[in-house]
Amino acid sequence: MRSVIAGAGAIGAYLGARMARAGQDVTLFARGPHLRAMRERGVRVTGPEGDFEAKPAVADSLDAIGPTDVVLLCVKAHSLPDLAPRLRPLLGPETVVVSMQNGVPWWFFQGLGGEFDGLRLERVDPGGVITASIEPRRVVGSIAYLSSEVVEPGVVRHIEGNRISLGEPDGTRSDRCRKIAHALSAAGLRCPVTTRIRHEIWVKILGNVAFNPISALTGATLAQMARHPDLGRLIREIMAEAEAVARKLGMELPISIEQRMAGAEKVGEHKTSMLQDVEAGRPLELEAVVGAVVELGELTSQPSPR
């Protein structure tokens, strides 16, 4: 199986290094100093599971890579409208596109059925650029439960986590999902295949929609937010609003707000990805994580003042 990682930043470079170390055919698409460092020296990974180095193929042009079997979309959600139209050189007749963005993905309502079937969120896919560029039949959903950061060009620090859930939007257990899961598992990751990918996405949103922006505003870690009386109350109120929106979409979540709070506190003194972006001066994934839930609240007449 030939894979391309489109967006070889902290998560993408980490995945690419693990896949290359396992002997898999993987190419990283990157730019700038990070690209040059990976070309010259490969990727060096440090972290709690041990340090290692790998030399995956690296490219700065999608045209030069050509058609592939799997595209792992590892860019942040706000970068996808710019990247999606440029993916065409990678897409052969059977190419699978694995979305790995935080928040509500652009494909969430494609093939959903019912009242909201085919709904496009303007805050996630402005002007429908992503939808026009990636056919629904190509999409496999995923959720990454891991954290890493680029500490210098070509060097990635793995902070915690090694799980990536995969799932077909139609809820089936497909051969293509199993093949991708096998490749990621062979690279040392936990990769379960779920038949309820949309529910699992919303469970993660339940935490992200509250913890991420509050951490960006306060600088607090997960444990600090969960233990703080006032912040804890606000987080629960935001989660309740997101849970109510999910119910309007016909989803009953398999986890309670208190379980979500306990899980966040258990993670400990961890900085959310949004706080890391604030500290690094990078754009934030506000629209896909927060704006999308607000937009859905407006569409379903579900108030979300918090």
Q: What is the pLDDT of residues 85-129, one digit of tens each?
A: 999 999 999 999 999 999 999 999 999 989 999 999 999 999 999
Delimiting residues of CATH 1.10.1040.10 domain(s) in the chain = 199-299
Share of the chain above pLDDT 90, in %: 88
Residue 167: per-residue pLDDT: 97
Residue 266: per-residue pLDDT: 84
CA distance 51 to 54: 10
Residue 132: per-residue pLDDT: 97
> Model pTM?
0.94
Residue 68: per-residue pLDDT: 98
Catalytic entry in 179, 204, 248, 271: 204
Is 179 an annotated catalytic residue?
no
Q: Which homologous superfamily is 199-299 in?
A: N-(1-d-carboxylethyl)-l-norvaline Dehydrogenase; domain 2 (1.10.1040.10)
CA distance 107 to 111: 9
Delimiting residues of CATH 3.40.50.720 domain(s) in the chain = 2-195
Residue 118: per-residue pLDDT: 94
CA distance 239 to 182: 34
Regions of the chain where pLDDT drops below 50: none
CA distance 302 to 180: 37
Residue 270: per-residue pLDDT: 82
Residue 147: per-residue pLDDT: 86
- 2-195 carries CATH number 3.40.50.720: yes
